[in-house]
Amino acid sequence: MADNQRKPNPIDIHVGSRLRLRRTMMGMSQEKLGTQLGITFQQIQKYEKGTNRIGASRLHEIASIFRTPISYFYEDAPNINKNPGEGQEAGFSDVASSDYVVDFLSSSEGLQLNRAFIKIENPKIRKRIIDLVKELSNSED
């Protein structure tokens, strides 16, 4: 692969997926976010795919728009091991396992479920719902 066609850095992919997740959870379109940032929705798409890296000042601006700490974008980031031979190969460690979560939460059903679940204030009811979902998923096997 030529140098100008490198694969996106796993951290850039993760930060982009967290951007996409937060944007969809807030019900904001790529176009609206782009307008607020003074850039095109295509640039937002590139950020979300990790194709283009988000600079520090731009990430700060995005965090401000979303009213979230910058650390949100790095939560559950993949552990990239630069020293192979320490039990892992260099590269991704958690990316595949967290991709399905982002995909689910970005889906229509996942977004609806998440928004409804967040509105439940009683922790006991939340726990019962989690237990119910676990039970239903086990009965499908």
**DSSP string of 63-117, one letter each residue:** HHHHT--GGGGGTT-----SSTTSSS-SS-SSHHHHHHHHHHHHSHHHHHHHHHH
Rounded to an integer, the average pLDDT of 67-88 is: 73
Q: Say whether both 119 and 102 belong to one domain.
A: no
Q: What is the pLDDT of residues 25-77, one digit of tens each?
A: 888 999 999 999 999 999 999 999 999 999 999 999 999 999 999 999 998 88
End-to-end Cα spacing for the chain: 42
Query: Which tokens belong to 31?
Result: 């176009």
Quick one: pLDDT at residue 140? 59
Q: Say whether both 93 and 138 belong to one domain.
A: no
Q: Say whether both 79 and 114 belong to one domain.
A: no
Residue 63 lies in domain: 3-106
Q: Say whether both 27 and 48 belong to one domain.
A: yes
Single out the residue of 44, 30, 25 nearest to residue 104, CA to CA.
25
- The number of distinct structural domains making up the chain is 2
Quick one: pLDDT at residue 73? 93
Query: Which tokens belong to 38?
Result: 């003074």
What CATH number has the domain bearing residue 90? Answer: 1.10.260.40
Bigger pLDDT: 82 vs 51:
51
